[in-house]
Amino acid sequence: MEIKATKRKGLHRLAVSGEATVYGVSEAADTLRSALAGAERLQVDLSSVSEIDSAFIQLLLAAGRQADRDGKKMEIVGYGGFGEEAILVLSALQIQSSAASQ
Amino acid sequence: MDLEQGKKIYIEESRELLDDMDQALLALESDPSDSELINRIFRTAHTIKGSGGMFGFDEIVSFTHVLETLLDKVRAGSIAIATDPKGDSPLLALLFRARDNLALMVEGLSTGASAPAAETEEIRGLLQSYGGSGKAAGPAPSAAPAAPGGGPADPDHYSHVSVRFGRDTFRHGMDPAAFLHPLAKLGEINTVICVLDSLPALNDESFDPEDCYLGFEINLCTAASKTEIEDVFEFVRDESRIAILPPESSVGEFVDLIKSHPGEDMELGAYLVQCRAVTSTEIMRALEEQKKGGGLIGEILVKQGSVQKEVVEAALEKQKTVRAQKAQEASSIRVDAGKLESLIDLVGELVIAGANVLQLSHKAGSGALVESASGVYRLVEELREIALSVRMVPIGETFTRFQRVVRDISKEVGKEIALVINGGEAELDKTVVEKINDPLVHLVRNSIDHGIETPEVREKRGKPAKGTIRLNAYHDAGTIVIEVSDDGGGLNRERILKKAVERGLISAGQNLSDREVYRLIFEAGFSTAEKVTDLSGRGVGMDVVRRNIEALRGSVDVSSEEGKGTKVTIRLPLTLAIIDGFQVGVGGNSYVVPLDMVVECVELTEADRRSSNGRDFINLRGEVLPFIALRHLFGGNGEKDARENIVVIQYAGMKAGFVVDGLMGEVQTVIKPLGKVFQGLKGVSGATILGSGRHPLAILPPLSPFEGERIKVRGCGLGIGRIEKGRKH
Q: Report pLDDT digits (tens) over B250-260.
A: 445 555 555 55
Is 80 exceeded by the pLDDT of residue B3? no
**Any A CB within 8 A of B170 CB:** yes
Nearest to B86 by CA among B341, B445, B455: B455
Domain presence at residue B465: yes
Q: Are residues B560 and B660 in the same domain?
A: no
Q: How confident is the model at residue B215 (pLDDT cuts 50, 70, 90)?
A: confident
Residues B496 and B592 in one domain: no
CA distance A2 to chain B (A): 17
pLDDT of residue B322: 55
B171: pLDDT strictly greater than 80: yes
Q: What is the pLDDT of residue B534?
A: 44
Which of A54, A66, A102 is facing B214, going by the closest CB pair? A54
At A56, is the pLDDT very low, low, confident or very high (cuts 50, 70, 90)? confident
Average pLDDT, stretch A61-76? Answer: 83
Residue B336 lies in a domain: no
What's the one-letter identity of residue B152? P
- Residues B402-432 pLDDT 10s: 888 888 888 878 888 888 888 888 888 877 8
B431 vs B395: CA distance, rounded Å: 11
Q: Does A71 touch chain B (CB under 8 A)?
A: no
Let me know if residue B357 belongs to a domain. yes
Structural domains of chain B, count: 5
Q: What is the mean pLDDT of residues B334-361?
A: 82
Q: Are residues B556 and B587 in the same domain?
A: no
Distance CA B212, CA A83 (A): 20
- Would you say the C-alpha torsion B602, B603, B608, B609 has a positive or negative sign? positive
For residue A86, the chain B residues in CB contact (below 8 A) are 177
A66 to chain B: which residues are within 8 Å by CB?
201-204
Best to test chain B binding among A65, A72, A91, A93 (most B CBs inside 10 Å) = A65
B676 DSSP 8-state letter: G
pLDDT tier for residue B188 given thresholds of 50, 70 and 90: confident
Of A28, A69, A95, which is closest to B201 when you measure between CB atoms?
A69
pLDDT score, position B681: 58
- For B15, counting Cβ atoms within 10 Å of its Cβ (0-12 exposed, 13-18 middle, 19+ buried), the class is middle
- The reply to whether B37 and B124 lie within a common domain is yes
Examine the domain organization and report whether B170 and B312 are in the same domain.
Answer: yes
For residue B564, the model assigns a pLDDT of 82
Euclidean distance between CA atoms B560 and B483, whole angstroms = 13
How many angstroms separate the CA atoms of B261 and B263, rounded?
A: 6
Model confidence at B166: pLDDT above 50: yes
Residue B727: pLDDT band with limits 50, 70, 90: very low
Residue-by-residue DSSP string for B349-392 = HHHHHHHHHHHHHHHHT-HHHHHHHHHHHHHHHHHHHHHHHHTE
Domain holding B165, by residue range, is 157-326
Minimal CA separation from B8 to chain A, in Å: 33
Give the Cα separation of B164 and A91 in Å (integer).
18
The mean of the pLDDT values for chain B is: 72
Sort B112 into a burial class: Cβ within 10 Å, 0-12 / 13-18 / 19+: exposed
Per-residue confidence band for B707, with pLDDT thresholds at 50, 70 and 90? very low
Q: Which of A1-15, A50-64, B514-528 has the lowest mean pLDDT?
A: B514-528
**Which residues fall within 8 angstroms of residue B262, CB to CB, at 6 or more apart?**
B164, B198, B215, B241
Q: Is A82 exposed, middle or buried (0-12, 13-18, 19+ CB in 10 A)?
A: buried
The answer to whether residue B584 is domain-embedded is: yes
Burial class (CB in 10 A: 0-12, 13-18, 19+), B584: buried
Answer for the pair B587, B603: CB distance below 8 angstroms, yes or no.
no
Q: Give CA–CA dist B315/B274, Å, rounded.
A: 12
pLDDT at B65 over 50: yes
Single out the residue of A30, A34, A14, A24 nearest to residue A77, CA to CA.
Answer: A14
Q: What is the pLDDT of residues B135-159, one digit of tens each?
A: 333 333 333 333 333 333 343 466 7
Of residues A96 and A45, which shows the higher confidence score? A45
From the list B194, B202, B212, the residue facing A63 with the nearest CB is B202
Query: Which B residues in the span 537-596 are in contact with A, Cβ-Cβ below 8 Å?
Result: none
Which residue segments constitute the domains of chain A, with CATH numbers given?
2-101 (3.30.750.24)
pLDDT at B471 over 80: yes
Residue B75 located in a structural domain: yes
Determine the distance from the C-alpha atom of residue B728 to the mean position of all C-alpha atoms in its chain, rounded to a whole number: 47
Query: At residue B200, does pLDDT exceed 70?
Result: yes
Residues B368 and B358: their CA atoms lie apart, in Å, by: 12
- Closest C-alpha among B551, B580, B571, B543 to residue B665: B580
Neighbours of B349 (CB within 10 A): 12
The burial class, CB within 10 Å (0-12 / 13-18 / 19+), for B337 is exposed
Whether the Cβ atoms of residue B199 and residue A95 lie closer than 8 Å to each other: no
**pLDDT surpasses 60 at B442:** yes
Same domain, B402 and B358: no
> Concatenated DSSP letters for A2-59?
EEEEEEETTEEEEEEEEEESGGGHHHHHHHHHHHHHT-SEEEEEEEEEEEE-HHHHHH
Nearest CA in chain B to A69: B201
Q: Are residues B38 and B71 in the same domain?
A: yes
The domain boundary, picked from B390, B407, B429, lies at B390
Q: What is the CATH number of the domain that holds B583?
A: 2.30.30.40
pLDDT for A34 beyond 60? yes
Whether B303 and B422 map to the same domain: the answer is no
User: Are B352 and B407 members of one domain?
Assistant: no
Nearest-Å Rg of the Cα atoms of chain A is 13
Domain limit, last residue, from B531, B546, B573: B573
Taking the Cβ of residue A5 and every Cβ of chain B, the question of whether any pair is shorter than 8 Å is answered with no
* pLDDT score for B653: 64
- Element at B329 (helix H, strand E): helix B309-329
Which chain A residues have a beta carbon less than 8 Å from that of B212? 54-55, 58
Q: Is A90 on the interface with B (CB under 8 A)?
A: no
Q: Which residues of B touch A62 (CB under 8 A)?
A: 199-202, 204, 207, 209
Contact B181/A at CB under 8 A: yes
pLDDT in tens, B540-599: 467 778 878 877 777 888 888 877 888 888 888 766 656 677 888 777 677 778 777 788
- What is the percent of chain B with per-residue pLDDT over 70, rounded to a whole number? 67
B512 close to B518: Cβ distance less than 8 angstroms: no
> Quick one: closest CA in A to B270, which residue?
A100
- For residue B532, is pLDDT > 70? no
What pLDDT is stored for residue B657 in this prediction?
A: 83
Q: Are residues B382 and B411 in the same domain?
A: no
Contacts of B196 in chain A (CB under 8 A): 61, 96
Name the pLDDT band for B283 (thresholds 50, 70, 90): low
**Nearest CB to B209; choose among A59, A65, A96:** A59
Cβ atoms of residues B156 and B220 within 8 Å: no
Q: Is residue B331 in a domain?
A: no
Interface with A, mutate which of B203, B213, B267 (most A CBs under 10 A): B203
Instruction: Find chain B residues with C-beta within 8 A of A93's C-beta.
Output: 194
| Rounded mean pLDDT, B336-349 | 82
Environment class of B347 (CB within 10 Å of its CB; exposed 0-12, middle 13-18, buried 19+): buried
Instruction: Indicate which CATH number applies to the domain containing B106.
Output: 1.20.120.160
The 10 Å Cβ neighbour count of residue B257 is 25
**What sign for the dihedral angle of Cα B122, B126, B127, B128?**
positive
Interface of B with A in 278-337 (CB under 8 A): 280, 284
3-state class of B518 per DSSP? Answer: helix
Q: What percent of chain B has pLDDT over 90?
A: 0
Residues B586-627 pLDDT 10s:
776 777 787 777 888 888 777 777 776 667 778 778 888 888
Which residues fall within 8 angstroms of residue B528, CB to CB, at 6 or more apart? B492, B495, B496, B499, B521
Instruction: Output the pTM of the full model.
Output: 0.47
**Amino acid letter for position B32:** P
Q: Could you tell me if A58 lies within 8 Å of chain B, comparing CB atoms?
A: yes
Closest alpha carbon to B484 in B508, B514, B448, B520: B448
Give pLDDT, residue B119. 80
Residue B142 domain flag? no
Residue B724, pLDDT above cutoff 50: no
pLDDT > 60? residue B684:
yes
Mean pLDDT computed over B65-83? 79
In DSSP terms, B427 is beta-bridged to B394
Per-chain mean pLDDT for chain A: 76
B20 pLDDT higher than 80 = yes
Statement to judge: residues B237 and B218 lie in one domain: yes
Name the residue among B176, B287, B255, B277 with its Cα closest to residue A100: B287
For residue B433, tell me if it sits in a domain.
Answer: yes
H or E, element range at A79: strand A73-79
Residue B265: per-residue pLDDT: 42
Query: Strands (DSSP E) along B395-552, which ranges?
Result: 417-422, 427-429, 467-476, 479-486
CA distance B32 to B29: 6
Q: What is the DSSP string of B299-311?
A: HHHHHHTSS-HHH
Q: Does residue B431 share a domain with residue B375?
A: no
Q: Are strands B720-723 and B711-714 parallel, antiparallel or unpaired?
A: antiparallel
> What pLDDT is recorded for position B690?
64
Residue of B nearest to A32 (CA): B202
Q: State the burial class of residue B175 (Cβ atoms within 10 Å of its Cβ: 0-12, 13-18, 19+).
A: buried
